[in-house]
Structure 1
């Protein structure tokens, strides 16, 4: 049985590398994580080189190992660089995106606490006692509530 499979691989010649590359790329779809992607690309490259240059299987294997490691490390570097540039770094720190912004109190702050409606969310806020209608700036976030302070300049824009 083993000799039949090896005979078929030998019969494919350089195309065996293409088959291996496509199998690895297909495996990447089943088990995502960009690991098999780089090995599949390396196998396809070896197949392309083998179509042009006649080489022994030992040379092709060495070329595959070199290309697999090179594509793996270059690809991982590229992906890590792209991942750091995309997305919202404040995604899981919702309140932190409001720090420094000015809002108008719809209800008064009484005994140092109250509520502030921002977009479609009502936040618990703390700060000095203030009447409704006063502009406040979010100073910081403490746990699940925002700490606010009155805005000195009443002409500040509200959000």
Structure 2
């Protein structure tokens, strides 16, 4: 490590930054980006202040942690309230709605038709055609109960 940082000097950090930016392009998650920026900041600082490799790694680590914390703070403050909060959580949007069983619930499993799709349901055994109310969801499985008085 010492030899590489001494031979390449500041170039080491420019190379690390380039690798991090390429990694960000391959796996975009806004994480490698901050490591790349930290490497650039370390390179710029190393151009003005001569540091041994331990200090360089320490500076890089501090910049990385600070930038990651700053990015999470910025992202968490940019959450936009949606007028349709359940848009991409359809199973949650179905809770409380009533449907007619498409197939009977046998051994706790059956199916219900919701618009143009068929959902698997879990609940007490019931005959096809019975009305059920969605009370919860387990992944893509809807938990139902019979509608009283139906």
Normalising by structure 2, we get a TM-score of 0.50
- Bigger strand fraction: 2
User: Which of 1 and 2 has greater Rg?
Assistant: 1
